[in-house]
């Protein structure tokens, strides 16, 4: 979320920087998704292991319900 400032020329710049940060984050996730296996295999990006563990945990609970 981009907070509005009192200076109206700064707001578009802040939104542009926010959009670029989101784009860069998405580009970092592409290698993660390219290296994942459908069965929840390992990834080469260290910082996303927590997300993968949560996904694996969540999938176990979904499988139990089904």
Q: What's the mean per-residue pLDDT of the chain?
A: 77
Residue 2 lies in a domain: no
pLDDT digits (tens, 9 = 90+) for 34-47: 666 666 556 556 77
Residue 55 lies in a domain: yes
Residue 19 lies in a domain: yes
Specify the pTM.
0.42
C-beta of residue 26 within 8 angstroms of C-beta of residue 20: no
Residue 5 lies in a domain: no
C-beta of residue 43 within 8 angstroms of C-beta of residue 32: yes
What pLDDT is attached to residue 42?
60
More confident: 2 or 11: 11
What pLDDT is attached to residue 37?
66
């Amino acid at each position: 979320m981009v907070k509005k400032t009192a200076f109206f020329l700064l707001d578009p710049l802040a939104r542009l920087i926010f959009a670029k940060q989101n784009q860069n984050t998405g580009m970092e996730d592409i290698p993660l998704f390219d290296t994942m296996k459908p069965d929840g295999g390992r990834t080469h990006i260290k910082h996303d292991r927590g997300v993968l563990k949560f996904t694996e945990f969540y999938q176990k609970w979904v499988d139990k319900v089904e």
